[in-house]
Chain A
Amino acid sequence: MTEANRKRQEIIGNLRLIWKEPLLLVFIIAIFYFLLIFVIFPLFMVFKSSLIVDKQFDFSNYLAIFSKRYYFQPFINSMILGVLAATAGTILGFVFAYAITRTPIPFKRFFRMTATFPIISPPFVVALAAILLFGRAGSLTPVLSRIIGEYSIYGLGGLVLVETIAYGPIAFLVLYGVLQAIDPALEEAAMDLGASRARVFATVTLPLSVPGIASAWLLVFIESMADFGNPMILSGNFRVLSVQAFLQITGMYDISRGSTLAILLLLPTVTAFFIQKYWVARKSYVTVTGQPTGATIQRLEWYIKLPTYAACFFFTGIVFLFYGMVIWGSFQKLWGVDATFTLHNYVEMFQVGKGYIFDSLKVSTWATPITGLLGMFIAFLVIRKKFIGRTTMEFVSMLTFAVPGTVVGIGYILAFNQKSALFPFVLTGTAWIIVTLLIFRNMPVGIRAGIAALQQIDPSIEEASTDLGADSSKTFRKITLPMIAPAFFSGLAFSFVKAMTAISAIIFVVSGDWNLITVAILGFVDNSQYAQAAAMSLLLIVIVLIALSIIQLLVGRIGKGARTVSIVD
Chain B
Amino acid sequence: MRQDYLVLKNLVKVFGSGENAFRAVDNIDIEVQEGELVTLLGPSGCGKTTTLRMISGFELPTAGEIRIDGEDVSTTPPNQRPTTMVFQNYALFPHLTVFENIAYGLKIRRESTENIRAQTEKIMQLVGLEGLAERSPAQLSGGQQQRVSLARSLVMEPKVLLLDEPLSNLDAKLRVSTRLEIRKLQQRVGITSVYVTHDQEEAMTLSDRVVIMHKGKIMQIGSPQEIYAKPANRFVADFIGKANFLEGHVGSLTSDNEILLDIVGKKFQVLVEPGSFSEGQRVLLVVRPESIKLEPKRPDALTGTVHEAVYLGSQMVYEVEVAEDIITVEIANPQEHMVFKAGEEVTISFLEKSLHILPYEEAP
- Who on chain B is nearest to A189 by CB? B91
Taken residue by residue from 80 to 94, chain B's Cβ proximity to chain A (1 for < 8 Å, 0 otherwise) reads as 100111011101111
Rounded to whole angstroms, the CA-CA distance of A192 and B93 in the bound complex is 13
- Who on chain A is nearest to B95 by CB? A207
Known: A194-B105, A194-B108. A186 touches B156 (CB 8 A): no
Known: A194-B156, A208-B94. A188 touches B58 (CB 8 A): yes
**Which chain A residues border B159 with CB–CB below 8 Å?**
none
Is B78 a contact of A185 with CB atoms below 8 Å? no
Known: A186-B93, A298-B59, A299-B77. A193 touches B87 (CB 8 A): no
Is A193 a contact of B84 with CB atoms below 8 Å? yes
Known: A299-B58, A299-B77. A192 touches B95 (CB 8 A): no
> Which of A190, A197, A207, A285 contacts B104, CB < 8 Å?
A190
Contact of B348 with A by CB under 8 A: no
Contact of A526 with B by CB under 8 A: no
- 8 Å CB interface, B50-66 against A: 56-60
Among A186, A189, A190, residue most surrounded by chain B Cβ atoms (within 10 Å): A189
**Which chain A residues border B79 with CB–CB below 8 Å?**
191-197
- Who on chain A is nearest to B89 by CB? A185
Q: Is the interface of B mostly helix, strand, loop or mixed?
A: loop
Is A189 a contact of B94 with CB atoms below 8 Å? no
Known: A204-B93, A299-B58. A188 touches B104 (CB 8 A): no
Rounded to whole angstroms, the CA-CA distance of A425 and B80 in the bound complex is 74
**Which chain B residues border A58 with CB–CB below 8 Å?**
none
Tell me, rounded to whole Å, the shortest Cβ–Cβ distance linking A271 to chain B. Answer: 26
Rounded to whole angstroms, the CA-CA distance of A203 and B95 in the bound complex is 10
**Which chain B residues border A208 with CB–CB below 8 Å?**
94-95
- Who on chain B is nearest to A210 by CB? B95
Rounded to whole angstroms, the CA-CA distance of A299 and B53 in the bound complex is 12
Rounded to whole angstroms, the CA-CA distance of A488 and B227 in the bound complex is 56
Is B77 a contact of A188 with CB atoms below 8 Å? no
Contact of B109 with A by CB under 8 A: yes
Tell me, rounded to whole Å, the shortest Cβ–Cβ distance linking A299 to chain B. Answer: 7
Rounded to whole angstroms, the CA-CA distance of A189 and B83 in the bound complex is 11
Known: A208-B94, A285-B95, A298-B59. A192 touches B89 (CB 8 A): no
- Who on chain A is nearest to B162 by CB? A192
Tell me, rounded to whole Å, the shortest Cβ–Cβ distance linking B309 to chain A. Answer: 35
Is A185 a contact of B91 with CB atoms below 8 Å? yes
Among B78, B80, B85, B105, residue most surrounded by chain A Cβ atoms (within 10 Å): B78
Contact of A199 with B by CB under 8 A: yes
Among A185, A196, A286, residue most surrounded by chain B Cβ atoms (within 10 Å): A185
> Which of A188, A199, A204 contacts B78, CB < 8 Å?
A188
- 8 Å CB interface, B325-340 against A: none
Taken residue by residue from 288 to 305, chain A's Cβ proximity to chain B (1 for < 8 Å, 0 otherwise) reads as 000000000011000000
Sample 22 A-B pairs with CB under 8 A, ordered by A number.
Answer: A185-B88, A186-B91, A188-B91, A189-B85, A189-B92, A189-B152, A191-B77, A191-B78, A192-B56, A192-B57, A192-B78, A192-B153, A193-B84, A193-B104, A193-B152, A194-B79, A194-B80, A194-B105, A195-B108, A197-B79, A199-B108, A285-B95
Q: List residues of chain B with CB under 8 Å of any chain A CB.
A: 56-60, 77-80, 83-85, 87-89, 91-95, 104-105, 108-109, 152-153, 156
Q: List residues of chain A with CB under 8 Å of any chain B CB.
A: 183, 185-186, 188-197, 199, 203-204, 207-208, 285-286, 298-299
Minimum-distance CB pairs A-B, first 5 = A193-B105, A185-B91, A189-B91, A285-B94, A194-B108
